């Protein structure tokens, strides 16, 4: 599979909801450019018009019109429109209405730690095995209880995340030490992973390929190396990968 490249403007977008987010980003940047040009031009105008020169005295009365107030009010109205009618509806779709585990095609747990991403799949039975903090060690960072029947077919990986194209992925995100931020740029997905909280996150890819998972929150001295990789597979590739991982996974041994 190909690895997606970053463009001159924004990273490649392979998510079904990315176009809406990119539209808002572009609109905000054009708006800020207009403000920058407008206020810059006004600054130059005032510097030239009100410069000190012979035969002119200072005007201590200031502006006698409300033009600047009207401009500021107009800018505020535009900002409210962008927030209320564009940003909040997209946020509502992406953040506040995640699918249920029954509605999602793929359900995974992702647990951040210093300095890695642990990915836990429930296996064919669609049930996550029990976890126990007392079982957490270097070979079993998630503390999966291998004696639990539901854990027998579970799959766990470190910094490797596979999911099929065109399918709804529901991700339960948390952290076991400090605050991290799970970021997949080309999927337009970014969410803080907070200890003690499990945050649902969902997305759907429209193309196959590979990309990076980054931590977007400074989380310690090793933050720079907290990087994972994800692969958007065809259904056949995903099934084959899951079968391979199920055969090799062991919670008493290292797994990748």
Claim to verify: residue 86 and residue 119 sit in the same structural domain: no
Instruction: State the alpha helices, DSSP H only, in the chain.
Output: 18-49, 67-81, 88-95, 235-248
**Statement to judge: residues 40 and 167 lie in one domain:** no
* Last residue in a domain, options 68, 95, 122: 95
256 inside domain: no
Q: Which domain holds residue 22?
A: 18-95
pTM of the predicted model, to two decimals? 0.81
Say what the pLDDT of residue 4 is. 57
List the CATH number of the domain containing 193.
2.60.40.420
163 and 37, same structural domain? no
Indicate whether 214 and 240 sit together in one domain: yes
Asked if residue 9 is part of any domain, the answer here is no
**Three-class SS string for 81-143?**
HHHHHHHHHHHHHHHCCCCCCCCCCEEEEEEEECCEEEEEECCCCCCCCCECHHHCECCECCC
Residue 13 lies in a domain: no
Same domain, 240 and 157: yes
Separation CA 139–CA 256 (nearest Å): 10
Please tell me the predicted confidence (pLDDT) of residue 115: 93
- Taking the alpha carbons of 251, 147, 115, 233 in that order, is the dihedral positive or negative? positive
Residues 209 and 149 occupy one common structural domain: yes
The total number of structural domains in the chain stands at: 2
Q: What is the pLDDT along the chain (256 residues), one digit of tens a residue?
A: 455 555 667 888 899 998 889 999 999 999 999 999 999 998 998 888 888 888 888 777 767 778 888 888 999 999 999 889 888 888 888 887 888 899 899 999 999 999 999 999 998 888 898 988 888 888 888 989 888 888 888 999 999 999 999 999 999 999 999 999 999 999 999 999 999 999 999 999 999 989 999 999 999 999 999 999 999 999 999 999 998 888 776 555 444 3
Same domain, 168 and 140: yes
Whether 116 and 76 share a structural domain: no
Tell me if 173 sits within 8 A of 195, measured CB to CB: no
């Amino acid at each position: 599979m190909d690895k997606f490249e970053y463009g001159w403007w924004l990273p490649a977008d392979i998510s079904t909801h990315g176009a809406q987010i990119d539209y808002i980003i572009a609109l905000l940047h054009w708006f800020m450019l207009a403000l920058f040009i407008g206020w810059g031009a006004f600054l130059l105008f005032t510097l030239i018009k009100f410069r000190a020169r012979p035969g002119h005295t200072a005007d201590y009365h200031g502006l006698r019109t409300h033009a600047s107030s009207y401009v500021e009010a107009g800018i505020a109205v535009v900002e409210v429109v962008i927030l209320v009618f564009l940003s909040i509806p997209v946020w509502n779709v992406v953040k506040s209405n995640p699918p249920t585990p029954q509605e999602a095609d793929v359900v995974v747990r992702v647990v951040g730690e210093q300095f890695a991403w642990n990915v836990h799949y429930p296996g064919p039975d669609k049930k996550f095995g029990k976890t126990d903090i007392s079982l957490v060690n270097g070979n079993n960072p998630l503390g999966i209880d291998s004696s639990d029947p539901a854990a027998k077919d579970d799959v766990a990986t470190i910094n490797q995340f596979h999911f099929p194209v065109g399918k709804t992925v529901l991700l339960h995100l948390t952290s076991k030490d400090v605050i991290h931020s799970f970021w997949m740029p080309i999927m337009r997905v970014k969410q803080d992973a907070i200890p003690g909280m499990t945050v649902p996150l969902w997305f759907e890819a429209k193309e196959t390929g590979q990309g990076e998972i980054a931590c977007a929150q400074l989380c310690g001295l090793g933050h720079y190396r907290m990087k994972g990789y994800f692969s958007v597979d065809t259904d056949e590739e995903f099934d084959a990968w899951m079968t391979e991982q199920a055969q090799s996974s062991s919670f008493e041994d290292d797994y990748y």
